[in-house]
Homo-oligomer: A and B are copies of this chain.
Amino acid sequence: MTDFKFEESLAVRDYELDVQGVVNNAVYQNYFEHARHQFLKKIGLNFVDLHQRGFDAVVHKIEIQYKRPLLANDEFVVKVAVEQQGAVRFIFHQQIERKSDKAITTIAKVTAVFMTGGRPIRPPKEVTDAVIAWQGSM
């Protein structure tokens, strides 16, 4: 079972609902991305700052399971775990848990790589070091 050591607390905003009265499917990617970037900040990394220094973290693949919809007024946490896979990939495991009943509503597995000038690279040392330090922490 995944040991999520980071979570970001969010709430549904009405403009995120679609005509079915549920959070639109694409918006969950916003939630997942925002939680990943908050996680990066937590371990000392900054997505926009990395971009400005020429290192672009990009999503290579995403799988999302929609188990239950989020509705107006729902509060939830987005949980994040990460592991390095091989030399160049990071796998993020993410779950959305509704606060009212602890139900897991949405599950994502995200494969990310680093690019510079449009080509995949080994992640910058500061990134690898930060991930390893975080994994070893409590």
Complex Cα–Cα for A116 and B14 (A): 19
Size category of the binding interface on chain A: 35 or more
Evaluate whether A14 and B63 lie within 8 angstroms (CB atoms) in the complex, with A26-B30, A33-B25 already known.
no
Residues of B within 8 A of A24 (CB): 15
Q: Are A25 and B62 in contact (CB under 8 A)?
A: yes
Question: Per-residue CB proximity of A10-33 to B under 8 Å, as 1/0?
Answer: 000111011111101111011001
Residues of B within 8 A of A26 (CB): 15, 26-27, 29-30, 33
Q: Are B60 and A66 in contact (CB under 8 A)?
A: yes
Q: Are A20 and B51 in contact (CB under 8 A)?
A: yes
* Given A14-B34, A22-B58, A62-B66: 20 more A-B contacts, CB < 8 Å: A13-B34, A14-B19, A14-B37, A14-B48, A15-B26, A15-B30, A15-B34, A17-B48, A19-B19, A19-B21, A19-B48, A20-B56, A26-B30, A26-B33, A46-B73, A48-B73, A58-B66, A61-B65, A61-B66, A63-B64
